[in-house]
Amino acid sequence: MKEDLKAIADYWSLRAQGYALDTQNELCDKEHSFYAQNLFNQLIEHRFCNTPAALDIGCGPGFFSILLAKSGFKVTGIDLSITMLTKASELAAYHKVNLKLIKGDIQNPPFAPASFDLIVSRNVFWNLPDLRIAYTKALELLKPHGLMLIFDGNHYYQYKDPDYQKYDPHKTHRHLEDIDVSIIDKIAKKLPASYKLRPDFDLTILKDINKCQAQSEILKSHIKNGKNIIDAFVIKAIKDA
């Protein structure tokens, strides 16, 4: 598992510069950002205490972290890639917000239980070698009645179902900087989430853990060969008392 995590971290370190450029563009036009709008749509339904503590899992260059900090949250970002964390620090300084940024793995988190009122993540869980461990640890870190929002998609489910094959799965990223994207394609072939239809798989895990009330919402989908192809979704879970 350690070798898999290192390979994943090394790849995303290569992508850090390009992702930081994408993130800055998205932050400067958040009114039209798909993920910004969906994040705030989910948050508006939940009551938080004053200055709630938030954890951004796999924070990357800090998109969710910065949005939350600007909205009054005390934000901690965790990521396996030091290069990503450096970019998050630079963008946080540009946007004049304070973030606590830590190198670490959600499957072995360096935090005390019940530390956070909110846990968020964007397009990260599909990278993880064991979703059950990740969800178990995340729920341990959440306070009673805390909210967890996991945004993700069926990024490599085409390895099991060819109908999920995109014409060019990397085309949406504008700043690839000549990165060899076949690296992550090969890594994804070994990841369990690539062969599980989500979000149903996630909900099954959370039901089995039995420490929260969880539901999912499909954010993007399309029809292909008469089949509903799920592109993006959010898992919303509220921890039990």
Say which CATH number the domain at 57 has. Answer: 3.40.50.150
What's the mean pLDDT in 39-43? 97
Domain residue limits at 107: 2-239
175 touches 204 (CB < 8 A): no
Q: Cβ(53)–Cβ(69) under 8 Å?
A: no
Query: In 83-153, where do the E strands start and end?
Result: 99-103, 116-122, 142-152
Q: Which of 38-42, 45-49, 157-161 has the lowest mean pLDDT?
A: 45-49
In this prediction, residue 1 carries a pLDDT of 66
> Structural domain tally of the chain?
1
**pTM score of the predicted model:** 0.95
